[in-house]
Amino acid sequence: MMIHTLNVYTSHTKEILMKLSELTVAISGVSTQLTKAQDEILSRINALENALVDVELPEDAAAAIEALRSQTQALDDIVPDVVPEPVTE
């Protein structure tokens, strides 16, 4: 069996590669921004819960805090966490 390869390099190829490079930078920027937003949201929720620790909350207020946590988790679940595979020796 013979395998043939054909390398075609045109100005369009260079343009596509440049666009892919820009895409990687854009994705990295969005990822950084989402991580920052997630940290800020969780920090504010924790601060709110800590401020209300000694306060008897009405059911609707407790439900609102839980809804915030659920929404934050839903955002986090959009992109599944990467679970490292165990290293085999």
SS (H, E, C) the chain: CCCCCCCCCCHHHHHHHHHHHHHHHHHHHHHHHHHHHHHHHHHHHHHHHHHCCCCCCCHHHHHHHHHHHHHHHHHHHCCCCCCCCCCCC
What are 24's two structure tokens?
């990687």
Instruction: Give the phi and the psi of residue 46 in degrees, each rounded to 5.
Output: -60, -40
The predicted structure's pLDDT at residue 6: 52
Is 25 within a domain? Answer: no
The distance of Cα 42 from the centroid of its chain, to the nearest Å, equals 14
pLDDT of residue 34: 84
In a domain, 24, yes or no: no
Q: Name the residue range of residue 67's domain.
A: 31-76
- Whether residue 56 is contained in a domain is answered as yes
Instruction: Pick out the chain residues at pLDDT < 50.
Output: none
The reported pLDDT for the residue numbered 35 is 85
Q: Is residue 54 part of a domain?
A: yes
pLDDT of residue 79: 76
